[in-house]
Amino acid sequence: MNNEVVQKALTKVKTGNIIWLVISVIMIIAGLPMILGAGYGLGMIALAIWNLVQVGRTFKIIKQFEAEPSLMVCYYKNRNYVLQFILNFVFGAVIGVIATVYEAFTQKYILDHEVELMNSRLMADQMPEDYNDYTF
């Protein structure tokens, strides 16, 4: 297995997650004064909370990605960024769109290196019990 590919994939996942954390906090701060303006602020805050939930989920599984890099392939294989792109375009403006594009490039990198990442796969009896949770 190519350790360089694994490390680069992990770095991309961690960086993307930190970007989403920062964006979510900015969206909440920016959305607070806009709550009175036609509900746009409320939509922005709701999207920021949704993003924070996703950040929390990803932080929890990054440790398992480090232990078992093939889980990254399972996690990113069926992800679709269309809804995320649209919501961030409407409520998150340019910064949300940029982060979504970064996430899509992370997915592309991981899927382009699927073979290397899957070669690190554990035997079936060593897989975590909640392995199927990564196929969303």
Q: What is the pLDDT of residue 124?
A: 38
What is the C-alpha to C-alpha distance for residues 77 and 91, in angstroms, rounded to an integer?
Answer: 26
129: exposed, middle or buried (Cβ count in 10 Å: 0-12, 13-18, 19+): exposed
- Residue in the block written with tokens 């950040």: 55
Residue 95: count other Cβ atoms within 10 Å of its Cβ: 15
Q: What is the pTM of this model?
A: 0.77
Q: What is the pLDDT of residue 136?
A: 37
Q: What is the pLDDT of residue 30?
A: 84
Q: Output phi, psi for 73, to 5 deg.
A: -65, -45
Per-residue pLDDT of the chain (136 residues; tens, 9 = 90+): 478 899 999 999 999 999 999 988 988 888 888 777 666 788 888 888 988 998 999 999 899 999 899 899 988 988 888 887 887 777 666 777 888 889 899 999 999 999 988 887 543 334 455 544 544 3
Q: What is the pLDDT of residue 92?
A: 60
Of 85, 124, 113, 84, residue with least CA distance to 5: 113
